[in-house]
Amino acid sequence: MPREVVVVALIALAGILVGGVYTTWKTAKVVAGVLAVLAVLAVGGAIAWYTS
């Protein structure tokens, strides 16, 4: 699989997770925090995958 496909997929996943953070922030802050951590990990993974 090309490197760019994985990077784009991870960035798209991070975008979906950020949307989840935005949606759940007022009702479930713990869940929003977990989603935020997962979004940061997805972006970090995309950066690491692209630079390696």
pLDDT score at 14: 97
Amino acid at 7: V
Q: Which two tokens stand for residue 24?
A: 């759940």
Q: Where are the domains of the chain?
A: 3-51
Rounded-to-integer distance, Cα 50 and Cα 8, Å: 10
pLDDT score at 26: 95
Q: How many residues appear in the chain?
A: 52
Stretch (H or E) spanning 35: helix 29-51
pLDDT score at 3: 81
Contacts of 50 (CB under 8 A, 6+ apart): 3, 7
Per-residue pLDDT in tens (0 to 9) along the chain, 52 residues: 788 899 999 999 999 999 999 999 999 999 999 999 999 999 999 999 999 8
